[in-house]
Chain A
Amino acid sequence: MTRCTADNSLTNPAYRRRTMATGEMKEFLGIKGTEPTDFGINSDAQDLPSPSRQASTRRMSIGESIDGKINDWEEPRLDIEGFVVDYFTHRIRQNGMEWFGAPGLPCGVQPEHEMMRVMGTIFEKKHAENFETFCEQLLAVPRISFSLYQDVVRTVGNAQTDQCPMSYGRLIGLISFGGFVAAKMMESVELQGQVRNLFVYTSLFIKTRIRNNWKEHNRSWDDFMTLGKQMKEDYERAEAEKVGRRKQNRRWSMIGAGVTAGAIGIVGVVVCGRMMFSLK
């Protein structure tokens, strides 16, 4: 198991080569050092970064930042590919299946991955019906499912907002929906092969936008964990209250049924008594 301590791992080039998530993903994606500069972000030509700005922004390698302090989303253990593969695997397993051939997690499951599972599950439960409807439309014609999925992801990523274009909500929603679609695809032999495409596309799409937006909008995995914990607590408390209320209602309805039965019994006894008395 590769030890993924944040301090020495990043300076140790040998570690970086061993990091499957970065090295193999580059090899896997055929990206030789040149990262995608614009992942459909600016669909119109004029939005393209002007050549002068492009030239001035030298590409920083992973783990390097202007003030020496690295952003937590650049840590290899928090590569977005890890989040997507962990959540897809988790969601597929919930349907009782296994994603054989899923890319491995070089640093293992991280606390942030587990928080993403919780957030993704909450998101899906909140929108279960919509997810079913969307997925039916998406998988209606297997041949174009992946194209439709790309359209959906791009529409979410490009939707107008005054918040961060890759906010926690959009990040969680895309991974949650992607996991849901992947789990449904696993149920069809014809579509199983597309799960890896979903994984690659979703990972790259989110990764590009995190790199372009999070610093400016003060987003980080640390902040994600802080907010996620509170949301998780509130959600679990609300669920416990719901269960408590249901139990209480059940208790009251049983008491009510008992009282009613008792009353009927008493009335019956009185009526029988009267009848026997009048017969004498």
Chain B
Amino acid sequence: MLMLTFASTSSDLLPMSNVFDVQSSVFYNEKNMFYSSSQDFSSCEDSSQFADDSGFFDDSEISSIGYEIGSKLAAMCDDFDAQMMSYSAHASDRSLFHRLLDFFAF
């Protein structure tokens, strides 16, 4: 069975048991060749290998940067959603208002 994993930030891949039951690295190498089958797994670099020898950040720093950006982005998304959902709240009286406008438009 083909296996599909999205490598995590830390050097250890996402724990096998609680991620999902499909494991294969879905990455491209330099020759832009897409490797998904497990036989070619060994020849395909995945980002966790990148992360290991990055030398710039250690794992906790990587996660904290990602977490920080993600938290801010989540707040932005939730504000946007609140604004969008506000349209459903006054959608009914909006159409009433438009009907009123149309009535007086002549």
Task: Check if B97 is an interface residue, CB within 8 A of chain A.
Answer: no
> Is A30 a contact of B87 with CB atoms below 8 Å?
no
Report which of A29, A161, A223 forms a contact with B36, defined as CB distance below 8 A: A29
**A 12-46 binary contact with B (CB < 8 Å = 1; else 0):** 00000000000000001111101011111011110
Residues of the A chain whose Cβ atoms lie less than 8 Å from the Cβ of B69: 134, 137-138, 148, 151-152, 155
CB-based contact B4/A231 at 8 Å:
no
Chain B residue with minimal CB distance to A151? B66
A137 to B66 CA separation, bound complex (whole angstroms): 9
Name the interface size band of chain A: 35 or more
Q: Are A197 and B26 in contact (CB under 8 A)?
A: yes
In the complex, what distance in Å separates the CA atom of A146 from the CA atom of B54? 13
Contact across chains for B83 and A231 when beta carbons are under 8 A apart: yes
Let me know if B22 is at the binding interface, CB within 8 A.
Answer: yes
* Complex Cα spacing A177 to B66, Å: 13
Query: From residue 157 to 172 of chain A, which have CB atoms closer than 8 A to chain B?
Result: 159, 161, 163, 167-170, 172
Whether A150 is near chain B, meaning CB under 8 Å from some CB there, is: yes
| Chain A hits for B105, CB < 8 A | none
Does A141 make an interface contact (CB < 8 A)?
A: yes
Q: Is A194 interfacial (CB-CB < 8 Å)?
A: yes
Q: How many contacting A-B pairs (Cβ < 8 A)?
A: 190
Q: Is the interface of A mostly helix, strand, loop or mixed?
A: helix
Q: How many residues does chain B have at the interface if contact means C-beta atoms less than 8 Å apart?
A: 59
Q: Choose, from A57-65, A122-130, A248-256, the stretch at the interface.
A: A122-130
Give Cα A126 to B77, complex, Å: 11
Q: Tell whether A228 is near chain B: CB-to-CB under 8 Å.
A: yes
Contact yes or no, A156 B9, CB < 8 A: no
A211 to B67, CA, bound (A): 24
Instruction: Select the residue from A151, A170, A223, A234 with max chain B CB neighbours within 10 A.
Output: A151
Residues from 62 to 81 in B contacting A, C-beta threshold 8 Å = 62-63, 65-67, 69-81
5 extra A-B contacts, CB within 8 A, seeds A36-B22, A150-B9, A193-B28: A45-B18, A137-B69, A173-B76, A201-B6, A227-B85
Q: Which positions in A face B, CB cutoff 8 Å? A: 28-32, 34, 36-40, 42-45, 48, 101, 123, 126-127, 130, 134, 137-138, 141, 143-144, 146-156, 159, 161, 163, 167-170, 172-174, 177, 193-194, 196-197, 200-201, 204, 223, 226-228, 230-231, 234
